[in-house]
Amino acid sequence: MGTTMKIRRLGKDGPEVSALGLGCMGMSFSYGPAGDKKEMISLLRTAVERGVTFFDTAEVYGPFINEELLGEALAPLRKQVVIATKFGFKLDPSGGPKWIGLDSHPKHIKEVAEASLKRLRTDVIDLFYQHRVDPNVPIEDVAGAVKDLISEGKVRYFGLSEAGAATIRQAHAEHPVAALQSEYSLWWREPEAEVLPAVEELGIGFVPYSPLGRGFLTGKINENTKFDPNDFRSNLPRFTPEARKENQALVDLLAGIALRKNATPAQIALAWLLAQKPWIVPIPGTRKLERFDENIGAVAVELTPGDLLGIEEASAKIKVQGGRYPESLQKMTGK
């Protein structure tokens, strides 16, 4: 295929993984109707053949069906891959397809771990993230529960998602955090202020989700794009037609560099993230093999210091329009 996958380590003492992982949420959830199961299994197995060893899912994706999909697809390849999943949502007890709040009580964390192990058809979860910080449970208790699971051999590494710097420090003091997963891309750079310096200082890896701005930075979406009613993006302030029209400037910037580098805008956006730090491992998601191949091609794109400076200067003049989440979801991040 031409792309030789590179390897990175998540944090000082974390797992070694492919430089790009695969975010699997969209295969089952959030971006319109779920993908065809056979096709998704084939894509997951092809990803391993192409050198991707890092796969990201969560209990709440579906709920449950995304973990089951990964379990089925990766069971024959289990020794070759690192699987990350997440706990921390309270699901509708009536079995409805929705979460109704947060729950990171230690008892709940342990129940989720048992259920996720079954769905993932494995005896160990490589990386277990708290999906969102639960204001009702001290982070030391959360870290303690995961520490217990690690000592029982059910989990290898502890992770946090969308946590703020103070929470990261408190958790890490209780049990080493291997990775922090948060949104980060050329159009959401908030982690640069406090979170990236904190994880660098503590030796924690960083896993950017939505590294392509939920697809926007690929250049395949414009102000006229129509989203499926089940598509999460139809509710995001940043994806109103007006915001998309304004935000096109960022895609145009990437397209200009892509042309020079014989690459695509998506590859430039991913290469930019990879160039930020050697312990950053983006997890772009896709359901299409050609998009997957395009994404992993980013590891071969070399951005020079001059290219990076050019991106910095040009993007500084572009004000991204629209919040990344509606208020209710934004409140759950950065705690």
Q: Write out the catalytic residue numbers.
A: 61
Distance, C-alpha 28 to centroid of its chain: 15
For residue 60, give both structure tokens: 């709440």
* b/e 268-294 (16+ beta carbons within 10 angstroms → b): bbbbbbbbbeebbbbbbbbbeeebbbb
Q: What's the start-to-end Cα distance of the chain, in Å?
A: 42
Burial class of 264 by CB neighbour count within 10 A (0 to 12, 13 to 18, 19+): buried
Beta strands 22-23 and 54-56, pairing class = parallel
Give, as one character, the DSSP assignment of residue 98. Answer: S
Spatial separation of the C-alpha atoms in residues 321 and 335, rounded to whole Å = 23
Tokens of 37: 């199961």
Q: Which two tokens stand for residue 59?
A: 């209990």
> What backbone phi and psi angles, to 5 degrees, belong to 278?
-75, -10
Q: What is the DSSP letter of 264?
A: -
Pull the structure tokens for residue 119.
């769905």
Spatial strand order in the sheet of 82-87: 22-23, 54-56, 82-87, 125-130, 155-161, 177-183, 205-209
